[in-house]
Structure 1
Amino acid sequence: MSNIENKPSETPSAVSEQPSPAPPKSSSRWLLSGLTVAVIILAILIYTGIRERANAETTLGTSTERAAIPTVNVVVPATGTAAQEIVLPGNTQAFNETPIYARTNGYLKQWHVDIGAKVNRGQLLAEIDTPEIDQQLEQARADLKNAQANERLAEITSTRWQDLLKTNSVSKQETDQAIQDLSARQASVDSMTANVHRLEQLQSFEKVYAPFSGVITARNTDIGALINAGAGGVPQELFHMASINRLRVYVAVPEVDSQAAQTGAKAALTLDEFPGETFEGTIVRNSDSIDSASRTLNVEVDVNNPQDRIKTGAYVFVHLTRPHGANNYTQSLTIPANTLLFRSEGLRVGVVRDERAELVPIKIGRDFGSTVEVVAGLKPTDHIIVNPSDSLISGTRVQISAPQAGGLK
């Protein structure tokens, strides 16, 4: 049994003394290939990272450089005949308008019309009670009768003395005195007659009549009011009336547009009260003189108002048409007012040419408010910068956002 127990200890020692087998060559190749691939992948990753960083830096530089270039909005000048219309403000006035005063003193007895009443020429407006005038007229008529009686007596006496003179019954001197007395009596009658007519005329002023057909726009008196015709005081206006079936509109036309105010030409009128509606007027006259203070020409436009739709004193817009070629320029353009640059060297606009801004001097014609007429300095194809910066100078690089062609009307 001892031999059997020692055998197992000999077997492991025999096994351990045998040499271990060498690793296979294929495993080394695979390991080398894996390392090579890993190095290549790492190199690719490093190259890719470097390239992306370089591209990012290039893109950032380009974006920064592009962001430094200002972006501008541009507009193309408008051409056509729309700029030939001139719109000017004006106020309507009655064709005939007058205050109505009393021509005699007294107290208002009765008024027959009030504000808004349409009256015809010769219609009775009011009555004035004038007791003093009535009494003076009665006395004047009595004096006239007395003077006429004295005249008849003087005439009889003169005739008698002339007949007696033919028979030398009276002297020539006494006859001449009788004739001269008749002349004096006749002059007295004429004087008395004139005084009666004067008082009758004053008495006729007790009734106030409309001088023309129109509408009563004001009543400034009432029954029992003391009426002063202006003798020793300020006269009181009884009524104010206006003829509104035809209206006048006075327009101050700028000197540069004075050729649009041709007598006899038609003029369209628009009111905010009647949106979308146009009234036709006619230029009837002008002052033919430029106001040295405002440099404008005063022009009268008359418009028919048979239905009394337009009120006197209304604010209207008068549309005048300027003749073609009136400014002696072959072509004019229209640009927005927010494209103008006011510089010390003169008026300028910014024009984009070859991706750079250029300040171009211009000459303007008429100012339409939101737009202006340019008569020199621009071409119809120019791209003009809208709302240019005050610091804009020629040669500055700019980029256009989007041209607004046809943006003007």
Structure 2
Amino acid sequence: MKVFAVKTTILSSLLLLSGCGHSDQNEEKKALEKPVTETFSLGKDILSTSVSIPAELSGFQYVDLYAKVSSYVKDLKVDIGSKVKKGDLLVELEAPEISSQLAAAESGLLSQEALYTASNSTYNRLFETSKIEGTVSKNDLEQALAQKNSDFAKFQAAKATYKEMQIMQSYLQIHAPFDGVVTARNVNTGAYVGPTGTGSQSPLLTVQDYKKLRLVVSVPGSYAAYLKQGDAINFTVNSLPNHNFESKIARMSGALDTKLRSERVEMDIVNNKVLLPGMIAEAVLPLNTKDSTFVVPESAVVTYSEGTFVIQNRGGKAHRINVKKGRTQGERVEVFSDSLKVNDELIKLASEEIREGMTLKLSAK
């Protein structure tokens, strides 16, 4: 019995020592399995990126022509595709009542001119006679002067009425405001047109300048600050996949559209007869800046429901810093934060699993 007890005690001791050895090995294994954290030193750089945005080509000058007065189309001189010069007669309208009113205005003008001529002559004779003492009373002279001034005012009013009717009649002829091409026609001979009613729903004609075009781009507000006048841009047109076109920014609106929150940017294109107004293009806009910014690997930035952050190494402990992302170039991204400084040590492969204050196992440098 004593021998059996001694053997049992020895066996228990051996098992205990074996268990302790396995425990120590597990701890060492866990320590070895803990991932090594790779870091990098934060620095600044200048990213040169670009963004592709849909754009639209339109005529450099574009106008919809409407009828100013109620009338009928007497003669249509052009059709779609017609090339016109500035001042060419495009549409001739007819409104008999305007011709009648012009004739009446002309008669009224001639009548008032005759009355003014007579009253002016009467006043001048009385004025010359009044120089001889006692020949003409002062009251008669004043009456003649008043009549002369009244007739002159009526004469001027008749002239204004006649000029107004001449202008109204000129509206019956619609001329080309600039050199271009007729791109739309919405009326035919005999159609009723006017400033109000059925004939005013669509323009009579649309004329565009086809020799020079505008490339119009609506640039989102987040990109607008990177652009300036004179920046070179490239663009392509879907219907011409083998052509690449170049231009420069000619003008910027300087304000964001209240609906789209974008800035209107225009480029002037000298047309080589390949492009057409109304084409949809894809414009590549350069996003350049003179100032350097913090640039980090894309893997160093974590974005989740609570925000976006990078992780800094502070004495072997993890510290999260909230940032805002900027432009991306390949696998690099701009970040902005007042808490970041040059040469800060950041974790290259960040994740949500690395908690605030967690002890980091850093790689040897």
1:83–1:373 CA contact under 8 A, matched in 2:
no
1:226 pairs with one of 192, 214, 219? 192
Letter in 2 for 1:288: G
Instruction: Please state how far the C-alpha of 1:113 moved relative to its aligned partner.
Output: 0.9
Instruction: Please state how far the C-alpha of 1:114 moved relative to its aligned partner.
Output: 1.1
Letter in 1 for 2:327: R
Instruction: Please state how far the C-alpha of 1:307 moved relative to its aligned partner.
Output: 2.8
| Whole-Å separation in 2 of the counterparts to 1:188 and 1:89 | 61
Letter in 2 for 1:270: T
Q: Which runs of 5+ in 2 are unaligned?
A: 1-44, 311-321, 355-365
2:296–2:333 CA contact under 8 A, matched in 1:
yes
| Whole-Å separation in 1 of the counterparts to 2:240 and 2:307 | 42
Q: Which residue of structure 2 lines up, in the alignment, with residue 149 of structure 1?
A: 114
Instruction: Please state how far the C-alpha of 1:124 moved relative to its aligned partner.
Output: 0.9
1:283–1:299 CA contact under 8 A, matched in 2:
no
State the Cα RMSD in Å.
3.9
Which structure has the bigger radius of gyration?
A: 1
Instruction: Please state how far the C-alpha of 1:181 moved relative to its aligned partner.
Output: 0.8
Q: Which residue of structure 1 lines up, in the alignment, with residue 327 of structure 2?
A: 366
1:178 pairs with one of 130, 144, 148? 144
Equivalent pairs counted in the alignment come to 293
Q: Which residue of structure 2 lines up, in the alignment, with residue 268 of structure 1?
A: 234
Q: Relative to structure 1, is the Cα distance of residues 164 and 347 closer, same or farther in structure 2, using a 3 angstrom cutoff?
A: closer
Q: Which residue of structure 2 lines up, in the alignment, with residue 51 of structure 1?
A: none
> Does 1:97 find its partner at 2:56?
no
Matches within 5 A, 1:164-313: 164-167=129-132, 168-230=134-196, 237-290=203-256, 296=262, 298-313=263-278
Q: Relative to structure 1, is the Cα distance of residues 348 and 131 closer, same or farther in structure 2, using a 3 angstrom cutoff?
A: same
| Whole-Å separation in 2 of the counterparts to 1:347 and 1:175 | 95
| Whole-Å separation in 2 of the counterparts to 1:272 and 1:172 | 88
Q: Relative to structure 1, is the Cα distance of residues 217 and 82 closer, same or farther in structure 2, using a 3 angstrom cutoff?
A: farther
Q: Which residue of structure 1 lines up, in the alignment, with residue 76 of structure 2?
A: 111
Letter in 2 for 1:165: S
1:190-239 CA-partner distances (Å, limit 9, x unpaired): 11111111111221222110111122121121111122134999576211
| Whole-Å separation in 1 of the counterparts to 2:220 and 2:103 | 63
Instruction: Please state how far the C-alpha of 1:363 moved relative to its aligned partner.
Output: 6.8
Q: Which residue of structure 2 lines up, in the alignment, with residue 136 of structure 1?
A: 101
Please give the TM-score of this superposition, normalised by the length of structure 2: 0.67
Q: Which residue of structure 2 lines up, in the alignment, with residue 122 of structure 1?
A: 87
| Whole-Å separation in 1 of the counterparts to 2:247 and 2:171 | 39
1:328-371 CA-partner distances (Å, limit 9, x unpaired): 13x45578xxxx9864455699xxxxxxxxxxx99743368xx7
2:213–2:271 CA contact under 8 A, matched in 1:
no
Q: Which residue of structure 1 lines up, in the alignment, with residue 293 of structure 2?
A: 328
Please give the TM-score of this superposition, normalised by the length of structure 1: 0.61
Instruction: Please state how far the C-alpha of 1:249 moved relative to its aligned partner.
Output: 2.7
Letter in 1 for 2:279: A
| Whole-Å separation in 1 of the counterparts to 2:202 and 2:241 | 41
Q: Which runs of 5+ in 1 are unaligned?
A: 1-79, 350-360, 385-391, 395-409
SS in 1 for 2:218: strand
Instruction: Please state how far the C-alpha of 1:160 moved relative to its aligned partner.
Output: 2.4
| Whole-Å separation in 1 of the counterparts to 2:303 and 2:120 | 95
| Whole-Å separation in 2 of the counterparts to 1:291 and 1:365 | 22
